[in-house]
Structure 1
Amino acid sequence: MLPTDTVDTTVLPPGERFGMWLDLVARTSAPLRIQSAHTADFAARADFVDLGAIQLVEYQYPSLEATRTRKLVRRSDPELYVLALTTAGVGTSSQDGRRSEILAGEFTFYDASREHDVCHHSTEPQRTQATSIITLIPHAALPLPRQRMAALYGGRMSGSEGLGTLLAQFLLQVTRHPEQYHAADAGRLGAVGLDLATTMLGRHLVAEDAVPTEVRRRALVAQVQAYIHRHLGDATLSPQVVADAQHISLRTLHRLFEAENATVASYIRDLRLARCRRDLTDPTLRTQPVQVIAARWGFGDKAHFSRVFRAAYGMSPQACRDGDALSARPVNRLASRVNSSPAD
């Protein structure tokens, strides 16, 4: 499991919860002055995920207002950027004279080393919690010109278009399902998240040329892989279909995967095989015919499926289902690699 930590104020009586939250905020690298209309019963939770290059925090709290004052900035300089995704409620973000309303599904960006104001309120009468996912990015880790970043402070960016969609999906998956990954995956996931954030911010700067070439390449690979994962069950999925969906040439797509130690076709095939193996060894799917499972993941030809499954795992699909699930070890290095893909 990924390195995580949780702070939950509901472990204390209602009257002590807001004080616990203030203590938490005071201990962070960028303390804030907090106000709330819910101080009498501040039921809140913070889930931290350490990904090495970046840190993620999912917040759930009643409505609040936060200010990083000039005095607090002088007291500590965390040298961090904050990229915040609102997941429920509505908020405002203000820095350097720019103020934006942030709706659910939108990002805002600011520098924790400078004065700023943020507030976040629930928009549903029956829902007392506003929620967000915060990405903490060290200044030194973001490969974009710092003097250019002020153009984005206090602004809003879509989390439902282009790379914004992919980054939002990544943050939601990692913060809400850290148990699906190994601790050893943290560094790799952190690099993926940083690449996606860097490329999205670079595009909003209208300065994608400022994003290092390798960062852009890795971000595009992550975007392509996410598309493949979403359409894996489509039997017509092919390298050409993937290239067309990403508005790139087939040649460019193949060049992208040269550094991934896999061809596009083998990546699709091995990922499908991994899904089939998972379903074949799932006791709840025991009554489903092998061919139904194969077809679900894009294998329409029974003989072809049996042949490639045996080549990858050293046994037939039926033998995999009948035998010990752990005995179906990949004999194909690429199959092994996609089994642990962070895009799952």
Structure 2
Amino acid sequence: MAILLDTASLPRRDRHEVFRAALAEASGATSVELDPGPDGPSGRMELVELGETRLFTARCSSMVMRRDRRTAGGASPEAVAVAVHGLGVGCHQMGSRQRRLRTGDVMVVDVTRPFDFSWTGLGSSTSLQVPTAALGLPLDLVQRAAPRLGRSPLYDLVSRYLVELARDARRLDDSPTAPAVGAASLQLVRALISSALDDPPHAHDVLEQTLVAQVRAYVRQHLRDPELSADQVAAALSVSRRQLFRACSQAGLSLEQYVIAQRLEGARAELARPSSRPRSVASVAYSWGFKDPTHFTRRFRQAYGMLPRDWRVLTAPART
């Protein structure tokens, strides 16, 4: 996880200008106003790369961001961002439409239109930025869906998902599963936008088509939880156990075998890291959700044709 900026590491006299410029660049705002308190603004910005997608989190004291009509009119967005509001109460205005944002509210960030966005006191926001080309949706459809996101059956799921994704950012940043999580997240954003339009049958189809992608994303985020189960996945995604297994079956996916395979990949990558050398094989197995080191060793050998300890020796850096 990259810390783009933390005012705590800046001299007091530089905080206002440095943070203002960084926030403007990250948000696409034409102008940014910050809390002019005696110590200057306080804030932190973080970025996590998830393959093609990026997770951006900003947390700071009172601020106002504006994007003027001239700048917006000449924009050609390379990415579409879906954001969930965190701390505090925010206000987002686009044209004549003004919206009060509270914790958990989801919005589409559209840099092709002028906007005002602000919060008072300590506030935060997390946005998932997906390449426009990879999203595969025309911009006018995204714009039509933006004020209707609350109608999507995926709205609450996306809100919870982005919050949990930000919470797990540190673990994902150095994980071999990060690109796959990003790909699944992109599909979820596409489904949210598509299903927000006034077409209930279409929304239902999108929900069914993307359920497996949501399953994959949730599993990857919770691989290290030894209690991860089908019931937990179904409850988190607000579907029945029957619907979960039907969707997985139609996609040719065995949930149990998928969980094991992903855990094995994570443990295999960790065993090869120099930083994990002081840890025992059993410790690594436990950290990836395996309750029994013997079971882990047997499955590892079945998957890769060698014992975990032999893999660790094979990948050890050469000594001179």
Shift of 1:12: 2.9
Distance 1:156 1:214, change over 3 A: closer
1:55 and 1:135 in contact (8 A); partners too? yes
1:256 aligns with 2:251: yes
Distance 1:91 1:31 in 2: 16
Distance 1:274 1:84 in 2: 30
Determine the structure 1 residue equivalent to 2:191. Answer: 199
Shift of 1:63: 1.1
Distance 1:156 1:121, change over 3 A: farther
Determine the structure 1 residue equivalent to 2:210. Answer: 216
Distance 1:154 1:22, change over 3 A: farther
Determine the structure 1 residue equivalent to 2:174. Answer: 180
Distance 1:72 1:265 in 2: 50
Determine the structure 2 residue equivalent to 1:106. Answer: 105
The one-letter amino acid of 1:83's match is V
Determine the structure 1 residue equivalent to 2:80. Answer: 81
1:60 and 1:131 in contact (8 A); partners too? yes
Q: Percent identity over the alignment?
A: 19
Shift of 1:35: 1.8
Correspondent of 2:164 among 147, 164, 169: 169
Determine the structure 2 residue equivalent to 1:265. Answer: 256
Shift of 1:20: 0.9
- RMSD of the TM alignment (CA)? 4.5
SS of equivalent residue, structure 1 residue 153: helix
1:96 and 1:154 in contact (8 A); partners too? no
Distance 2:244 2:65 in 1: 47
1:36 aligns with 2:34: yes
When the two structures are superposed, what TM-score results if normalisation uses the length of structure 1?
0.65
Determine the structure 1 residue equivalent to 2:300. Answer: 312
SS of equivalent residue, structure 1 residue 133: strand
Determine the structure 2 residue equivalent to 1:24. Answer: 22
Correspondent of 1:146 among 115, 139, 147: 139
Distance 2:51 2:260 in 1: 31
Shift of 1:17: 1.1
Correspondent of 1:326 among 304, 312, 315: 312
Distance 2:262 2:75 in 1: 46
Shift of 1:247: 4.8
Correspondent of 1:225 among 212, 219, 222: 219
Determine the structure 2 residue equivalent to 1:53. Answer: 52
The one-letter amino acid of 1:7's match is L
Distance 1:180 1:14 in 2: 32
Shift of 1:189: 3.3
Determine the structure 2 residue equivalent to 1:338. Answer: none
When the two structures are superposed, what TM-score results if normalisation uses the length of structure 2?
0.69
The one-letter amino acid of 1:135's match is L
Q: How many residues align?
A: 296
2:48 and 2:56 in contact (8 A); partners too? yes
Cα deviation per residue 1:5-39 (whole Å; 9 max; x = unaligned)?
52223333323211112322454572331123335
Distance 1:28 1:228 in 2: 29
The one-letter amino acid of 1:166's match is Y
2:90 and 2:118 in contact (8 A); partners too? yes
1:30 and 1:76 in contact (8 A); partners too? no
Cα deviation per residue 1:59-95 (whole Å; 9 max; x = unaligned)?
1211111111113324654354332212211212122
Determine the structure 2 residue equivalent to 1:335. Answer: none
Shift of 1:227: 9.4
Distance 1:97 1:272, change over 3 A: same
Distance 2:296 2:224 in 1: 22
SS of equivalent residue, structure 1 residue 144: coil
Distance 1:154 1:307, change over 3 A: closer
